[in-house]
Amino acid sequence: MGTLEKIEAIRNGELSATENVELALERIRKLNGKLNAFLEINSKAMEEAGEVDRMLKAGEAGKLAGLTIAVKSNINVKGLRATCASKTLEDYVCPYDAEVITRIRREGGIIIGMTNMDEFACGSSGETSAFGPTDNPAAPGYIPGGSSSGSAAAVASAMCDLALGTDTGGSIRNPASHCGVIGVKPTYGLVPRQGLIDLGMSLDQIGPISPDVPGSVLLLEVIAGKNQAEGMMMDVERVSYGELNGGVKGMRIGVSPQFSNLTDPRITGVIEKKVEFLKDLGAEIVEIRLPHIEQALSAYYLIVSVEFFSATRKYDGRKYGKRIESVCGEEVLRRIMLGSYISRREYRGRYYQRALQVRTLIRKELSLALKQVDAIVGPTVPKLPHKLGTRLTPLEMYAYDYLTIPANLAGTCAGVVKAGEVNGIPVGIQVQGKPLGEEKILRVMRALEVESSKSG
Amino acid sequence: MSDSKDQDLNPKEIERSAEEILRVFTRVIESLPVEEETYYGQELVNPLRPDGEPSPPSVRREFRKCFISIMPASDDDGKLRVEVARWAR
């Protein structure tokens, strides 16, 4: 059952919110021991579902009425733990709801639980969690990708209807690709970040993960829009993506040869078939140039390390949590050390300011490319996921992020939809758009999704 | 929530790997063209402005100067000087 069909079933009374929550809890009981996608279940979910059922009967149903929503463990949900999958915050019970959670509750969405992730979102594999790695439901024994590993795995295994993830350098799109689900990184500043425990404040965005494109559209329409309490937001009141099934006829779709230079040829083969399909549907395929896409990775890791170092200074063990350096894992400590070094006054110009200049370069290149086309398509992750427990060097691990990072540096939007499989492992196609170009990328994603469902 | 495995971290080794990453990444970007720095991906609305428009770069630079001028204490380079808490002395 698709997301829209489920909403319809709940509204028609064929399925109650309480029954839907029971179904989700049953799936979690059955599967979470193996997948480790959830870190905590909302013990009040059934009670909250009862309240939604009462509202449904009274004709006051919101857009998400009765749907179960999983939340990445770096977003504040009142009464639940936002641990960031770290020992640092293992006892941190959120004192308030993040703005996105307030909006979900207002529309009748039921928070089913908090999902596993890479510790403080530092990772692309889902393995750096202090509470154990998450398995990939679509390719058991392989990494689910990260850092929103639990959210993608929970959606892929139908333990929830929809999920929230966060994306700083690809953390929604990477696990969506590896798990074969939909993920959207909205334009920077479109979705409120109030209540998000940040990794890199100039790059982070909260976004939806869903089993189908309409599910992501629905959740994005609920969470997007200006929040008066935040200074870094786009001047957009609310969004509505009505033209989802408009097709791609007449659209100009960009492809770049630089993508295939960085990508496993087996993945490139899957993507090229989808590009041909878009052409068959009437889209015009245009070659674009992104000459410095490879260098974006270096700039990104220098910038994010500085911002992460700054963000973690509050974890000094005085007011809440434990001192981060005393309890954190290897990757978190490495980024703190890197950020601390770069932040020193004598090195600031050489490393940090230089990285910010490269950010400008990437932003200009992507902006120029997006002026020529309506959307850019290409692979999401340049290589196939490794088997859980495989030891990779940090640089090998960072290489997963080559193709997702540019959208974060430029603040543009991007989404992922399953394109096919290589040896039974899902491969996602990334669709990138202009700032506030979500409607166009969602249209392309929907066209690809409909085609996939037809070809079975 | 499952328990984590006790990690046997070697800070010296992690520090060495951080230095290696810094070396590699700096080498990659050092030859690229010099540009103005980008702190945020988008020119975002400033809710403190009545017209709701983003502040132009010149105004932002001016703001920084004004901000530094009213800081409680600053050093010769204009960096904020903070006081160590009494209880920590």
In B, minimum Cα distance to A330 occurs at B9
Say yes or no to pLDDT of B5 above 50.
no
Nearest-CA distance A303 → chain B (Å):
9
Tell me, yes or no, whether A377 lies in a domain. Answer: yes
Residue B1's pLDDT band (boundaries 50, 70, 90)?
very low
pLDDT of residue B43: 72
Helix (H) or strand (E) holding A179: helix A173-179
Tell me, yes or no, whether A242 lies in a domain. Answer: no
How many domains does one find in chain A? 2
Say yes or no to pLDDT of B85 above 70.
no
Say yes or no to pLDDT of B84 above 80.
no
Domain that holds residue B71: 55-89
Can A6 be counted among the known catalytic residues?
A: no
CA A429 to chain centre: 14
Q: Residue A229, class by beta-carbon neighbours within 10 Å (0-12 exposed, 13-18 middle, 19+ buried)?
A: exposed
pLDDT of residue B4: 38
Q: For residues B45 and A237, what is the distance between their CA atoms, to the nearest angstrom?
A: 12
Tell me, yes or no, whether B32 lies in a domain. Answer: no
Tell whether A60 and A187 lie within a shared domain: yes
Choose among B1, B22, B32: nearest Cβ to A338: B22
| B50 touching A (Cβ < 8 Å) | no
Contacts of B21 in chain A (CB under 8 A): 301, 334, 338, 394-395, 398
Tell whether A316 and A211 lie within a shared domain: no
Contact A300, A401 (CB under 8 A): yes
Q: What value does the mean pLDDT take over residues B69-82?
A: 70
For residue A222, report the phi and psi dihedrals to the nearest 5 degrees.
Answer: -75, -40
Tell me, yes or no, whether B21 lies in a domain. Answer: no
Tell whether A355 and A435 lie within a shared domain: yes
| CB atoms B18 and A435 under 8 Å | no
Domain boundary among A178, A208, A223: A223
Tell whether A218 and A262 lie within a shared domain: no
In B, minimum Cα distance to A129 occurs at B4
Mean pLDDT of chain B: 75
Tell me, yes or no, whether B8 lies in a domain. Answer: no
Tell me, yes or no, whether A313 lies in a domain. Answer: yes
Q: For residues A231 and A343, what is the distance between their CA atoms, to the nearest angstrom?
A: 24
Tell whether A79 and A193 lie within a shared domain: yes
Helix (H) or strand (E) holding B84: none
Nearest-CA distance B6 → chain A (Å):
9
Angstrom distances, CA of residue A247 to CA of A161, A444, B52: 25, 7, 35
Q: Point out the catalytic residue in the list A6, A72, A322, A434.
A: A72
Tell whether A131 and A178 lie within a shared domain: yes
Domain that holds residue A375: 252-455
Contact A307, A408 (CB under 8 A): no
pLDDT digits (tens, 9 = 90+) for A266-291: 999 999 999 999 999 999 999 999 99
pLDDT digits (tens, 9 = 90+) for A198-254: 999 999 999 999 999 999 999 999 999 998 888 888 889 999 998 788 999 999 999
Can A147 be counted among the known catalytic residues?
A: yes
Higher pLDDT, A455 or A260: A260
Q: For residues A129 and A136, what is the distance between their CA atoms, to the nearest angstrom?
A: 15
Can you give the C-alpha Rg of chain B in angstroms?
22
Can you give the C-alpha Rg of chain A in angstroms?
20
pLDDT of residue A190: 96
**SS3 for A359?**
helix
**ipTM of this complex:** 0.83
Helix (H) or strand (E) holding B64: helix B57-69
Tell me, yes or no, whether B44 lies in a domain. Answer: no
Tell whether A271 and A162 lie within a shared domain: no
pLDDT of residue A301: 96
pLDDT digits (tens, 9 = 90+) for A146-161: 999 999 999 999 999 9
pLDDT of residue B48: 63
Q: Which two tokens stand for residue A295?
A: 């260098």
Can A73 be counted among the known catalytic residues?
A: no
Angstrom distances, CA of residue A19 to CA of A6, A22, A23, A47, A68: 12, 5, 6, 12, 11
pLDDT of residue B9: 81
| A292 touching B (Cβ < 8 Å) | yes
Tell whether A196 and A256 lie within a shared domain: no
Nearest-CA distance B83 → chain A (Å):
16
Tell whether A102 and A9 lie within a shared domain: yes
Q: What value does the mean pLDDT take over residues A7-30?
A: 97
Q: For residues A388 and A48, what is the distance between their CA atoms, to the nearest angstrom?
A: 36
pLDDT digits (tens, 9 = 90+) for A323-363: 999 999 999 999 999 999 998 877 777 888 899 999 999 99
Q: What value does the mean pLDDT take over residues A433-443?
A: 97
Tell whether A204 and A264 lie within a shared domain: no
pLDDT of residue A135: 98
Contacts of B36 in chain A (CB under 8 A): 357, 360
Tell me, yes or no, whether B36 lies in a domain. Answer: no
Q: What value does the mean pLDDT take over residues A394-398?
A: 96
| B28 touching A (Cβ < 8 Å) | yes
Tell whether A298 and A443 lie within a shared domain: yes
Residue A454's pLDDT band (boundaries 50, 70, 90)?
confident
Nearest-CA distance A266 → chain B (Å):
27
Contacts of A409 in chain B (CB under 8 A): 38, 41
Q: What value does the mean pLDDT take over residues A70-95?
A: 96
For residue A71, report the phi and psi dihedrals to the nearest 5 degrees.
Answer: -125, 130
pLDDT digits (tens, 9 = 90+) for A155-195: 999 999 999 999 999 999 999 999 999 999 999 999 999 99
Provide the CATH number for the domain around residue A279.
Answer: 3.90.1300.10
Least confident of A142-151, A368-377, B62-71: B62-71
Tell me, yes or no, whether A239 lies in a domain. Answer: no
Say yes or no to pLDDT of B81 above 80.
no
Q: Which two tokens stand for residue A410?
A: 């430029």
Cross-strand pairs, B74: B80
Tell me, yes or no, whether B69 lies in a domain. Answer: yes
pLDDT of residue A295: 95
Q: Report the candidate in B48, B63, B50 with the shortest Cα–Cα distance to residue A233.
A: B48
Tell me, yes or no, whether B65 lies in a domain. Answer: yes
Q: What value does the mean pLDDT take over residues A54-70?
A: 96
Higher pLDDT, A134 or B60: A134
CA A348 to chain centre: 30
Dihedral of alpha carbons A259, A146, A405, A219, sign? positive
Choose among B38, B39, B42: nearest Cβ to A435: B42
Contacts of B79 in chain A (CB under 8 A): 345
How many domains does one find in chain B? 1
Tell whether A203 and A258 lie within a shared domain: no
Tell me, yes or no, whether B11 lies in a domain. Answer: no
**SS3 for A162?**
strand
Say yes or no to pLDDT of B25 above 80.
yes
Q: For residues A299 and A302, what is the distance between their CA atoms, to the nearest angstrom?
A: 5
Helix (H) or strand (E) holding B29: helix B11-29
Say yes or no to pLDDT of B6 above 50.
no
Q: For residues A9 and A324, what is the distance between their CA atoms, to the nearest angstrom?
A: 46
